[in-house]
Copies of this chain bind each other. A is one copy, B any other.
Amino acid sequence: MQAKLRVATQRQTEMVDITRQIQEALAGRTSGTGVCHVYVPHTTAGVTINEAADPDVVIDLLTALDRLVPRTAAYRHAEGNADAHIKTALVGTSAHVPVDNGRLVLGTWQGIFLCEFDGPRVREVWLRMLAEH
């Protein structure tokens, strides 16, 4: 099972809940059990797992990251998005989610979020199903 998702972000910084989109890609391609590797092939966007019930949670997360890593500072990188690269390092570029019989097995409150730090852009998310022993 390999799949590529496309996610069109709408803002400069944004957390996009991609749980359903991942689930749909899995459902069409695997009935397997294992761990889904969710990979973001970008350097100014990442992926994280956090609360999907209250949308304020990921807004607080974006605000905290903005405070810790300001958009403007004495950065050397000349493209104006050094903060986005740093935030990507803090959240990471992959997530790994258990799958049973083709269904994501998340905790009650968990969702999978694409973390856009330099949008809006069209982003890719690559999925692979890892096999269990």
Binding site for B on A (CB under 8 A): 1-2, 30, 32, 34-35, 37, 39-43, 48-51, 54, 56-57, 59-61, 63-64, 68-69, 75-79, 82, 85-86, 88-98, 105-110, 124, 126, 128-133
Contact = CB atoms under 8 A, between A and B. Distances in A.
16 contacts: A34-B133, A39-B97, A39-B98, A49-B93, A50-B88, A54-B79, A56-B76, A57-B85, A59-B76, A60-B85, A61-B86, A107-B124, A129-B133, A130-B132, A131-B132, A131-B133
Given A43-B51, A56-B77, A110-B41, A61 B85 contact: yes
A129 B132 CA distance: 6
State the oligomeric state as a number of copies. 3
Contacts of A89: 48, 50, 61, 90-91
